[in-house]
Amino acid sequence: MIDRGDRAADRAAFVGLLRDAIAVGGDILLAGHVAPDADSLGSALALGLALRRLGARVRVSFDAVPFVVPRTLRFLAGQDLLIDPAEIVAAPYLVVPVDVDGLLRLGRLAGPATAAGTRTAVIDHHPSNTRFGEVNLVDTAAAATSVLVVDVIDALGVPLDVDMAAALYAGLVTDTGSFRSPATTAAEHRLAARLLETGIRHDLISRDLWEDHPFGYVQLLGSVLGRARLEPAHDLVWSWCEQRDLLAAGLAPDEIQGFIDILRSVSDVEVALICRQNGAGWNVSMRSRGGLDVGAVCVGLGGGGHRLAAGFRTTADLASLMDRVRAALAPATALGAR
């Protein structure tokens, strides 16, 4: 177990709520965030598998219409635990938001999480977390929520098997940027070694996450990079992807998450940004090369995230949202962020 002593009491309270739910036979709902990534869904499924081992009545969910697991995460085990938010008719005994920094990120699952009589236990590592649970196991020093979930599984006394380990490794390797993030420490490498010792195929996990794309992915990547804009005055490189682009390429929104990492490789500027059209609005992802806290910038824009990776949503048009971004970046740029 990775011991983060300052979180020991929160971990004990978190595990206590899980044990209470198991003892009374109460329904436990593990809730990922809207459009879940590997850390959110992987952590939720791993914890769900561990709780089921203990005899818990547990389900896993996230808000998506249609309710479909992102293609890049379909290798994860435990998907028989999944339930569409539309099928949740009774208030759970306990809702556990996993890798979720606030109620808004739960989407339709905010209803069950705030139902009368329902208890909540949050497990997360985002600096923007609002501590909206009855118990909040929030460690902003953790490189991934999967790190905290391993601690919880250990505290529950459940041995890690290969299915749990694969899901946890997916979250760990994703949120550490393949162990390139400054948040990566020796502890994360030791955890990765422990997960590998269960027999997982890290090479196949990495291929599923990042290296298995249809030809339409390559074509769309070329289009998005071809329209990229470099704005040295704002220390920014950015581009956008419209819904019609995704439809033409035959891709789901989650499949282009890696595009921003290519933009972030541009050394001329500090910040990379991609806007993805979502209905009448845009999902905006922002990345920093290390010299600017984009998490704080995105909080000011109604979103949140980490120091080097964050985002927000808006119903503004593309031109207006980019004006807001430039205005938000201006103070840091004027101070010489790099």
* Predicted model pTM: 0.90
Opening angle at CA 322, ends 318 and 326, nearest 5: 175
Distance CA 37, CA 72 (A): 9
Report how far apart the first and last C-alpha atoms of the chain are (Å, whole number).
Answer: 37
Neighbours of 159 (CB within 10 A): 10
CATH code given to domain 215-334? 3.10.310.30
Encode pLDDT of 187-223 as tens digits. Answer: 999 999 999 999 999 999 999 999 888 999 999 999 9
The answer to whether 191 touches 176, Cβ cutoff 8 Å, is: no
Encode pLDDT of 241-273 as tens digits. Answer: 999 999 999 998 888 988 999 999 999 999 999
User: Helices 145-156 and 38-53, interaxial angle, to 10°?
Assistant: 10
The better pLDDT of the pair 331, 33 is held by 33
Distance CA 229, CA 83 (A): 41
Of 42-51, 209-218, 223-232, the least confident: 209-218
CB within 8 Å of 291: residues ≥ 6 apart: 270, 337, 338
Distance CA 41, CA 30 (A): 9
The better pLDDT of the pair 181, 166 is held by 166
Give 6's pLDDT tier (boundaries 50, 70, 90): low
DSSP H or E segment with residue 221: helix 215-226
The answer to whether 142 touches 128, Cβ cutoff 8 Å, is: no
Distance CA 336, CA 108 (A): 41
Spell out the domain ranges in the chain. Answer: 5-209, 215-334
Distance CA 166, CA 209 (A): 12
Mean pLDDT value of segment 222-232: 97
Encode pLDDT of 88-128 as tens digits. Answer: 999 999 999 999 999 999 999 999 999 999 999 999 999 99
What would you measure as the largest C-alpha separation in the chain, in angstroms?
60
The position carrying tokens 């556990």 is 96
Any idea which fold 5-209 has?
inorganic pyrophosphatase (n-terminal core) (3.90.1640)
- What is the model's pLDDT at position 257? 87
- What is the model's pLDDT at position 333? 60
- Whether 331 has a pLDDT exceeding 90, the answer reads no
Q: Which two tokens stand for residue 24?
A: 């009374």
Mean pLDDT value of segment 158-173: 98
E-state strands within 248-336: 271-278, 281-288, 304-305, 309-314
Give 280's pLDDT tier (boundaries 50, 70, 90): confident
- What is the model's pLDDT at position 278? 87
Q: Which two tokens stand for residue 30?
A: 């593990």
- What is the model's pLDDT at position 5? 46
CB within 8 Å of 100: residues ≥ 6 apart: 31, 32, 33, 40, 106, 122, 124
Mean pLDDT value of segment 137-150: 96
Q: Which two tokens stand for residue 206?
A: 């990495």
Question: Residue 122 in 3-state DSSP?
Answer: strand
- What is the model's pLDDT at position 337? 46
Beta strand pairing call for 236-241 and 229-231: antiparallel
Residue 175 C-beta-side C-alpha neighbours within 13 Å: 35
- The total number of residues shown for the chain amounts to 338
Mean pLDDT value of segment 224-232: 97
CA 261 from centre of chain: 16
Q: Which two tokens stand for residue 280?
A: 């009448």
Mean pLDDT value of segment 323-329: 96
Mean pLDDT value of segment 277-302: 92
